[in-house]
A = this chain, B = another copy of it.
Amino acid sequence: MLPPLNPLHVFEVTARLQSFTRAAEDLRVSQPAVSRQIQTLENFFGFRLFERDKLGIRLTPEGEELQRQISPAFRVIETVTQRLVASGKSEPLRLRVYTTFAAKWLIERLPSFYAAYPSIRLSISNAVAPVDFEKEKVDLAIQFGGGKWPGVESELLFRDLLQPVCSPTLRRKANLHSIDDLKRVPMLHSHYRRTDWADWLMACDRLDLLNDSGISFPSSVLTYQAATEGVGVAMGQLHLLRNELRDGSLVTLFEQPLERPLAHYAVWPKNRALPKKARSFLAWLKSRMSDFQR
């Protein structure tokens, strides 16, 4: 008869840290998640493992007993895992990632990848131009474009979805409500995406609003940074700005999202077999992609 193992692990951490809240931080989950896991375990055993009182918790005698006995078991599992995972490590998977995608999507999700596949190391370079697998030592690339490149297989990750964005402060101050209001604020451009504003204005049939003034940045990341700081209005790739839109540091304008026939693609050489590591990465990539349409 085994107890539920994940709750047992949560218990082990909690007992060690003497606090639900700290255990939650340590495990990178919320405090209620810990609370429930402990409850599950307490139901299983039929008695409390912690005494809850003012300012914190204490192990009950049974909890202490349990902690004493299982802690070494977890240490053993941890140690052998560490060793075996290290033995499984081989050459890193070489990725070449479109810069904005790396900055705005990939990097914050890497811990999740390492947790699921700790034996795969990544070597990540970034660039904007399409990859040349003949010249560059790269296993898998993520790039932006129309999806048709010679000599490569590709798989669509998500389409480009454009809409003007700015800081909530700017929207209020400059009173941005209709498209004409764009005349009153600087447009922020990105070098590598010169046509974004034109494409979007064309779709709205308001190309007349396009002007060459505005400010131009060498990377979309900087453009978005500037927009966040209230410098002007940027043409935002909605999928890459989830965080900013969620926490309110950017807001969308004018309710006119435009989906273009361009997209982010995973790309690999047609003649080489995709290494197993790369297939794992691709599988992970796609699983993390589920919050996006297509």
Docked pose: A88 CA to B45 CA in angstroms: 6
Q: Are the C-beta atoms of B85 and A45 separated by less than 8 Å? A: yes
Chain B nearest CB from A49 CB (Å) reads: 10
Q: Is A255 an interface residue (CB 8 A)?
A: no
Pick from B65, B77, B120: contact of A84, CB under 8 Å: B65
Q: Are the C-beta atoms of B65 and A80 separated by less than 8 Å? A: yes
Q: Are the C-beta atoms of B44 and A117 separated by less than 8 Å? A: yes
Q: Are the C-beta atoms of B84 and A62 separated by less than 8 Å? A: yes
Chain B nearest CB from A285 CB (Å) reads: 14
Q: Would you call the interface of chain A mostly helix, strand, loop, or mixed?
A: helix
Quick one: given A6-B5, A117-B44, A120-B46, are A76 and B70 in contact (CB under 8 Å)?
yes
Q: Which residue on chain B has the smallest CB distance to residue A120?
A: B46
Residues A62-97 near B (CB distance < 8 A):
62, 65-66, 69-70, 72-74, 76-78, 80-82, 84-85, 87-90
0/1 interface trace, chain A 223-241, chain B, CB 8 Å (1 if under): 0000000000000000000
Docked pose: A77 CA to B12 CA in angstroms: 12
0/1 interface trace, chain A 4-16, chain B, CB 8 Å (1 if under): 0110110000000
Q: Is A47 an interface residue (CB 8 A)?
A: yes
Chain B nearest CB from A203 CB (Å) reads: 43
Q: Are the C-beta atoms of A80 and B85 separated by less than 8 Å? A: no
> What number of copies of this chain does the assembly contain?
2
Q: Are the C-beta atoms of B46 and A119 separated by less than 8 Å? A: yes
Quick one: given A8-B77, A76-B72, are A1 and B46 in contact (CB under 8 Å)?
no
A residues lining the B interface (CB < 8 Å): 1-3, 5-6, 8-9, 43-47, 62, 65-66, 69-70, 72-74, 76-78, 80-82, 84-85, 87-90, 116-120, 280
A-B contact pairs, 26 of them (CB 8 A): A1-B78, A1-B82, A1-B85, A5-B6, A5-B9, A8-B77, A43-B117, A43-B280, A44-B85, A44-B117, A44-B119, A45-B85, A45-B88, A46-B88, A46-B117, A46-B120, A47-B119, A62-B84, A62-B88, A65-B84, A66-B80, A69-B76, A69-B77, A70-B77, A70-B80, A72-B76
